[in-house]
């Protein structure tokens, strides 16, 4: 946090737009960051008028704020949502077609041809790893359909990952976002593509989360917060290899019921992993070893995940986070269309999704 002003001055940047969410904007560390910048003569603008699940008009308003006050750079400070908005605003500055022309799912990444302003990310949750990402998930204001804006140009120039900013993260947010990070590392390790570098990073990410998540949730200290922050960043690096069945189970819960992304993953994780064990026993043995489990097998990993959820107060059942039996058909329709499961180590059918939702209900 303290390195930021000198970094900006060295880059000759004197007028950044900070993009954040209204909650983060009200926290003491945010005021501190602003003060550090102002003291060094940097003229700061703040844009925090964003939705919990960001929409296109948030991006247009942010780009207007950038133009009107003639900013020279963008600093995203916050959780995955705020960082997504910051990244999408960075895209919008020199790409003024309709925002969804750049939707990656329709091949829109090829339209990202111009430069992007100097873009910096500062995570304040330890979960999505969006600080090291190249994509932003933004929804349509009316239809709420989520679009993915993607381009290697959207990678931050630098990430300031400071665990001090996560010290006061509430326990429930720490638990949900931390389980998102664990899901990234586990799904990336198992994903079917051959990518030994990502697998090494994923295993070490799993080990760091195993060592620190309970403490970070129940009795946080700087060490547990540091380990969670680096492990979440590692998860997002590792999942360049791919994700899997758990993310495809989770995404429909967010679009249909507005469930927090991390919480949706956390509840589904043990069930998704149980589904993956048969045929991949060796990989589960390696996960079990990383977790220091007595029995080095998939069953022990699944039991560990249920136990962990209990210890950090995450429910074991979907019914406890608002899912009802009559949601299952629609959820299964959405899950089968999701982009994550084609990288799962084994194929997942619509029937499998229905079975998994029913089991977890």
Q: Partners of 17 in the beta sheet? A: 45, 74
Q: What's the half-sphere exposure (Cβ side, CA atoms, 13 Å) at 23?
A: 12
151: partner contacted, choices ligand NAD, Fe ion, none (Cβ within 5-8 A by kind): none
Q: Is 33 in the site for ligand NAD (CB under 6 A)?
A: no
Which of helix, strand or coil describes residue 278? Answer: coil
Of 68-76, 152-160, 165-173, 319-327, the window that binds ligand NAD (rule: CB under 6 A) is: 165-173
CA distance 307 to 302: 9
* Chosen residue from 6, 64, 141, 168 binding ligand NAD by CB under 6 A: 168
25 vs 137, beta carbon nearer Fe ion = 137
CB of residue 307 to Fe ion, shortest distance in Å: 21
Taking contact as CB under 6 A, which single stretch among the options 111-119, 124-132, 205-213, 216-224 is the one that binds ligand NAD? 124-132
Burial letters 6-39, b for 16+ CB under 10 A, else e: eebeeeebbebbbbbbeebbebebbeebbebbee
Q: How far is the CB of 258 from ligand NAD (least distance, A)?
A: 10
List 8, 169, 181, 331, residue binding ligand NAD (CB under 6 A): 169
Subset of residues 204 to 233 that bind ligand NAD, contact rule: CB under 6 A: none
- Check binding of 84 to Fe ion (CB under 5 A): no
166, 259, 268, 344: residue in contact with ligand NAD (rule CB under 6 A): 166
Our finding on whether 81 is near ligand NAD (CB under 6 A) is yes
In whole angstroms, give the CA distance from residue 80 to residue 133. 10
Nearer to Fe ion, 16 or 80 (CB): 80
Cβ atoms of residues 116 and 130 within 8 Å = no
Burial level of 280, CB count in 10 A (0-12/13-18/19+)? middle
Strand pairing report for 135-139 and 146-150:
antiparallel
Helix 261-277 vs helix 171-190: crossing angle, to nearest 10: 40
**338 interacts with Fe ion by CB under 5 A:** no
Q: Which parts of 162-191 interact with Fe ion (CB under 5 A)?
A: 180
- Decide which of Fe ion, ligand NAD, none touches 136; Cβ closer than 5 to 8 Å per partner kind: ligand NAD
- Residue from 62, 80, 235, 272 that binds ligand NAD (CB under 6 A)? 80
Secondary structure of residue 247 in the 3-state scheme: helix
From the CB of 248, what's the least distance to Fe ion, in Å?
11
Stretch that binds ligand NAD, among 35-43, 65-73, 95-103, 160-168 (CB under 6 A): 160-168
Residue 103 β-bridge partners: 149
Say whether residue 361 binds ligand NAD (CB under 6 A): no
- Residues forming a β-bridge with 146: 139
168 vs 292 by CB, closer to ligand NAD: 168
The alpha helices in the chain, defined as continuous H runs, are 4-10, 22-25, 28-39, 56-68, 80-93, 171-190, 196-218, 222-238, 245-257, 261-277, 281-290, 298-311, 328-337, 350-360
Residue with tokens 């043995």: 285
> Which of 238, 288 has the CB closer to ligand NAD?
238
Residues that bind ligand NAD (CB under 6 A): 21, 23-24, 27, 53, 78-82, 84, 124-125, 127-128, 130, 133, 135-137, 165-166, 168-169, 173, 177, 180, 261-262
Residues that bind Fe ion (CB under 5 A): 180
């Amino acid at each position: 946090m303290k390195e930021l002003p000198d970094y900006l001055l060295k880059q000759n940047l004197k007028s950044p737009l900070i993009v954040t969410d209204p909650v983060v904007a009200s926290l003491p560390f945010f005021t501190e960051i602003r003060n550090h910048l102002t003291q060094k003569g940097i003229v700061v603008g703040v844009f925090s008028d964003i939705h919990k699940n960001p929409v296109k008009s948030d991006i247009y308003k942010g780009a207007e704020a950038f133009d009107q006050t003639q900013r020279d750079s963008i600093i995203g400070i916050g959780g995955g949502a705020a960082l997504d908005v910051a990244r999408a605003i960075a895209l919008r500055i020199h790409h003024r077609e309709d925002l969804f022309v750049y939707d990656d799912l329709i091949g829109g990444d090829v339209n990202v041809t111009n430069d992007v302003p100097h873009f910096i990310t500062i995570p304040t949750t330890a979960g999505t790893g969006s600080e090291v990402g190249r994509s932003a998930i933004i929804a349509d204001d009316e239809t709420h359909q989520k679009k993915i804006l993607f381009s290697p140009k959207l990678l931050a120039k630098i990430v300031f990952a400071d665990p001090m900013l996560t010290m006061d993260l509430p326990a429930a947010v720490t638990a949900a976002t931390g389980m998102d990070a664990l899901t990234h590392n586990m799904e990336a390790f198992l994903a079917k593509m051959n990518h030994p570098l990502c697998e090494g990073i994923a295993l070490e990410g799993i080990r760091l989360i195993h060592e620190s998540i309970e403490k970070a949730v129940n009795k946080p200290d700087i060490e547990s917060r540091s380990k969670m922050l680096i492990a979440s960043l590692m998860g997002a690096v590792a999942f360049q290899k791919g994700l899997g069945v758990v993310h495809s189970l989770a995404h429909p819960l967010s679009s249909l019921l507005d469930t927090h992304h991390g919480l949706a993953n956390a509840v589904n994780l043990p069930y998704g992993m149980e589904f993956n064990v048969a045929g991949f026993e060796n990989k589960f043995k390696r996960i079990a070893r990383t977790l220091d489990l007595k029995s080095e097998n998939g069953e022990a990993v699944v039991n560990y995940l249920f136990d962990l959820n209990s210890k950090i107060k995450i429910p074991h059942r979907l019914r406890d986070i608002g899912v009802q039996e009559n949601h299952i058909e629609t959820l299964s329709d959405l899950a089968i269309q999701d982009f994550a499961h084609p990288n799962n180590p084994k194929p997942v059918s619509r029937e499998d999704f229905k079975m998994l939702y029913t089991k977890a209900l």
